Amino acid sequence: MEDSKKPQKNMSDQYYYALAIRIAADFGVSIAVPALVAAYAGVKLDEKFGTKPYILFVLLAIALALTVVIIVKKANYYAKLYQKGE
């Protein structure tokens, strides 16, 4: 009888927990990868052409702009998934 008084997790809670973990991982990769690639390429190109740190700054700015576009697209996608689960 006491078991019936305990709140039970329903499937939608599990769906939202899984979605939250997926979003966190996806956004983390979407932010880190362009920045790391831009930093590595910028350092290498600056060393090759002797332009420290100009190419690095340009590539990091491009990576930032690209990251914003990617995050906005993914946020819209996940918003649709979130509403679909309700």
Greater model confidence, 12 or 27 = 27
For residues 39 and 67, the answer to whether their CB atoms sit within 8 Å is: no
pTM of the shown model: 0.80
Measured distance CA(59)–CA(41) in Å, rounded: 8
Q: Using a pLDDT cut of 70, give the percent of the chain over it.
A: 86
* pLDDT (0 to 100) of residue 3: 54
In sequence order, what DSSP letters do the residues of 38-75 get, joined into one string? Answer: HHHHHHHHHHHHT-TTHHHHHHHHHHHHHHHHHHHHHH
Measured distance CA(45)–CA(54) in Å, rounded: 10
pLDDT by residue (tens digit) across 49-66? 999 999 999 999 999 999
Output the CA angle 29-30-35, nearest 5 degrees. Answer: 90
